[in-house]
Amino acid sequence: MPKEFLIPDLYRSEIIKTVKNARQILDPRKKDRTPAVLDLGPVRFLVPRHFGFCYGVENAIDIAYRTVEEHPGRNIYLLSEMIHNPTVNKDLETRGVRFLFDTDGTERIPISSLSPDDIVIVPAFGTTLEIQQKLEKQGIDPYSYDTTCPFVIKVWKRGKQLGSRGYSLVIHGKYQHEETRATFSHSSQEAPCVVVLNPEEAHILADIMLEKRPRDDFRKYFGMKCTDGFDPIGDMRHIGVINQTTMLATETREVMQILRDAVEEKYGSATGESGAVEMHFADTTDTLCYATNENQSATYGLMDERADLALVVGGYNSSNTMHLVELLEERFPTYHVRDASEIKSRSEIHHFNQWSKEVERTRNWMPKASEPVTIAITSGASCPDALVDEVLLKVASYFDGCRPVDEALKPFREEAAHSGTT
């Protein structure tokens, strides 16, 4: 049976939960990525097959809230934001939880000021070996309240396995992201490591490995993102690619293919004189996070539909949320909002531009001529469904003549009930 998580009521939703439950009953294996349609009359919402809290996030919330509930009066700290959602982190702060670090690694509270009686919760991204050692020095077991996502741990285990077999590791991720910093820390104990951000950097690394670019280019592009003494020629003889689990899975596969092609060019194909590609390039596709994959596949399902615009709900520092925005921007005018408060009126919205790293104000964002207006709506893996409900209701409030939400949800309840009895 699936694990039951303690999720606070304030994160639960009525609208999205009803739609998700119906889809789960009708399509338990999630083979149909066609979005559901929540039809309120003058405005329709396309709700993707999969989005919102993933297993790792629910597991982290469960551990964090149980820890707070079971230890009243104790000093409880999170190493940094447990997940990249301001609503969740703010709520934990109101319950007395304090953060030791900002997301960029800046220290808020010195670990040296903690005592063995204090509780420290490791966030879903995991943490570095260096921080673990500092906690142990203070008499604090970093594994007692560890919410590290199981799929992040899976990546670490594969990195350790490959390192023990003499492979170097290419980490596809954002070098300053907490998860990538943690993965780099764990992996660099086992193998030479280098971080690449995207396929463009993968091409640069491949060209350096193939000596099509000068070796000095490695220092220029990767000098701050590799283990000391990394040799882009010698250390790339045997490589495996692991990733920050919130990166686009399609992009990680592209990075893998670029480097695999370079290995094949250098060492020959499976039948070449230099030996099989498989001897030099490890297949690590099974480490890609299933939830990230499902979210992204469901987003492609949204992109197959016609919509006037897209709304993506989630924290402005959430990597997986920004990747969903990146995909949807290819198809629709897309607005990344933290919560319903960013939607000011039918004529004004505040939203995050990940390319300029600024919150922008856009006027006349809602189409006037076409009704019904069709809106694709989704959220990142760290966003509570309750926030999506609030955004949906806020938008609907700008349209006259919307049918009651209960009426719009009735087909989903009836389908679920009918399917459950047949």
Residues 280 and 313 placed together within one structural domain of the fold: no
Residues 125 and 158 placed together within one structural domain of the fold: no
Q: What does the pLDDT read at residue 293?
A: 85
Identify the band that residue 418 occupies on the pLDDT scale cut at 50, 70 and 90.
confident
Residues 321 and 402 placed together within one structural domain of the fold: yes
Q: Give me the active site residues, please.
A: 179
Residue 98: CATH number of its domain: 3.40.50.11270
The whole domain housing 123 covers 55-137
Average pLDDT in the chain: 92
Identify the band that residue 270 occupies on the pLDDT scale cut at 50, 70 and 90.
low
CB 103 within 8 A of CB 81: yes
| pLDDT of residue 409 exceeding 60 | yes
Domain-terminating residue out of 260, 288, 316: 288
Mean pLDDT, to the nearest integer, of 395-417?
Answer: 93
Give kind and range of the element (H or E) at residue 326. helix 319-328
What's the rounded Cα separation, in Å, for the pair 296 and 322? 11
CA atoms in the 13 A half-sphere facing the CB of 344: 11
Give 373-402 pLDDT, tens digit per residue: 999 999 999 999 999 999 999 999 999 999
Q: What does the pLDDT read at residue 273?
A: 46
Give 362-374 pLDDT, tens digit per residue: 999 998 766 799 9
- Number of domains observed in the structure of the chain: 3
What's the rounded Cα separation, in Å, for the pair 342 and 319? 19
Q: Is residue 142 part of a domain?
A: no
Residues 84 and 164 placed together within one structural domain of the fold: no
Identify the band that residue 272 occupies on the pLDDT scale cut at 50, 70 and 90.
very low
Residues 308 and 405 placed together within one structural domain of the fold: yes
Percent of the chain exceeding pLDDT 90 equals 80
Residues 191 and 311 placed together within one structural domain of the fold: no
Residues 332 and 365 placed together within one structural domain of the fold: yes
Pull the structure tokens for residue 71: 């230890």
Radius of gyration of the chain measured on its C-alpha atoms:
23
Q: Is residue 234 part of a domain?
A: yes
User: Which region among 13-22, 25-34, 216-225 has the lowest average model confidence (pLDDT)?
Assistant: 25-34
What's the rounded Cα separation, in Å, for the pair 82 and 106? 15
Residues 71 and 60 placed together within one structural domain of the fold: yes
pTM over 0.85: yes
Q: What does the pLDDT read at residue 271?
A: 47
Residues 279 and 301 placed together within one structural domain of the fold: no
Residue 301: CATH number of its domain: 3.40.1010.20
Phi, psi of 349 (to 5 degrees): -140, 140
What's the rounded Cα separation, in Å, for the pair 338 and 360? 12
Residues 75 and 97 placed together within one structural domain of the fold: yes
Residues 82 and 172 placed together within one structural domain of the fold: no
Residues 311 and 409 placed together within one structural domain of the fold: yes
Q: Is residue 319 part of a domain?
A: yes
